[in-house]
Chain A
Amino acid sequence: MTPIRFSPSSLREGRWYEYLMRFALGGAATVFTGLVSSRYGVSIGGLFLALPAIFCASATLIEKHEIRRKRQAGLAGERRGKEAAALDAAGAALGAIGLLAFAIVFSLIVESSIPAAFVGASLTWLIVSVSAWYLRRKMLSVRRARTAGKTSGPAISRSR
């Protein structure tokens, strides 16, 4: 099981304009959500709280960084770049489960206590997302172990 690691060196790979672009996209998505809410109503506006606008920029940057790293090593890196972006997307799919839990908890608590709604919903997002990620990883490693067992072929067939 690969542990979760902290890798501050990854921040050095980013260029200043990439951070600026993410800031601008984040700001634009928040302004857009506000505009939609005031023009089309709270119901439609609420949908855009889960808009994957930032994800588009993040996945593109991840692919670009991976290709840049591989090219420095003399390789094309396009396939590796796509794989890195796909891994990011797989993580985002699990994070979306956490985002759903965030919305449920926030809507249940906010009318009783506003600070508790923000803290509780954020913690719920973190716990649900990390648990979903851990569970998926565990399932993948079990499946890999089974496949490896079948490929190597036990001398005596085991009853299940």
Chain B
Amino acid sequence: MTEYLLRFIVGGLVVSAFAMLGDVRRPKSFAGLFGAAPSVALATLGIAVYQHGAGYAALQTHSMMAGAIALGVYSVVVCHLLVRAGLRAAPATLLSLVVWVIVAVGLLTLAGGQT
């Protein structure tokens, strides 16, 4: 329970810090870089290194590569849904999560990861 409380606080703080860094940057496309900041990764990897060691964290970052490629595809799909399909931000970002899951799991399977 304490571990998850710690995860919640650390994750919340790191994510908020990166989000605020993005808020104060202009132009907007530059601020968008912070939407793909390694905020959850930094918090999770910090706890992973402390609890399970460096080898465990290294394994996590191997599959994180598939997640990052999927995030790139996800962002492009969101962009198209907003501009071409005219969807609002909430449905566009939520619907595209399906694309993220398909691409991330697909890449992990192709790379021979455990699914």
* Residues of A close to B68: CB separation below 8 A: 50, 96, 99-100, 102-103
Which among B22, B32, B34 has the highest number of chain A CB atoms within 10 Å? B32
* Residues of B close to A93: CB separation below 8 A: 36, 72, 75-76, 79
* Residues of A close to B30: CB separation below 8 A: 4, 91, 133
Q: Which residue of B lies closest to A87 (CB)?
A: B28
* Residues of A close to B61: CB separation below 8 A: 46, 49, 103-104, 106-107, 110
Tell me the bound Cα distance from A45 to B51 in angstroms: 15
CB pair A43–B108 under 8 Å, yes or no, is yes
Q: Binding site of A, secondary structure by majority: helix, strand, loop or mixed?
A: helix
CB pair A90–B65 under 8 Å, yes or no, is no
* Residues of A close to B104: CB separation below 8 A: 47, 50
A side interface size, CB within 8 A? 84
CB pair A106–B76 under 8 Å, yes or no, is no
Contacts A4-B25, A11-B23 given; indicate if A26 touches B62 (C-beta within 8 A): no
A85-127 CB contact bits vs B (8 Å, 1 = yes)? 1111111111111111011101100110010011001100100
> Which B69-110 residues have C-beta < 8 A from chain A?
69-72, 74-76, 78-79, 82-83, 86-90, 92-94, 96-97, 100, 104-105, 108
CB pair B37–A95 under 8 Å, yes or no, is yes
* Residues of A close to B37: CB separation below 8 A: 95, 99, 125
Tell me the bound Cα distance from A2 to B27 in angstroms: 8
Q: Which residue of A lies closest to B23 (CB)?
A: A10
Q: Which residue of B lies closest to A94 (CB)?
A: B33
* Residues of A close to B59: CB separation below 8 A: 42-43, 46
How far in angstroms is the closest Cβ of chain A from B1? 11
CB pair B19–A58 under 8 Å, yes or no, is yes
Tell me the bound Cα distance from A133 to B33 in angstroms: 8
**What are 6 pairs between A and B in contact, CB < 8 Å?**
A6-B24, A23-B12, A30-B43, A43-B63, A49-B64, A85-B92
Binding site for B on A (CB under 8 A): 2, 4-8, 10-11, 14, 19, 22-31, 33-35, 37, 41-56, 58-60, 62-63, 78, 81-100, 102-104, 106-107, 110-111, 114, 117-118, 121-122, 125, 129-130, 133, 136-137
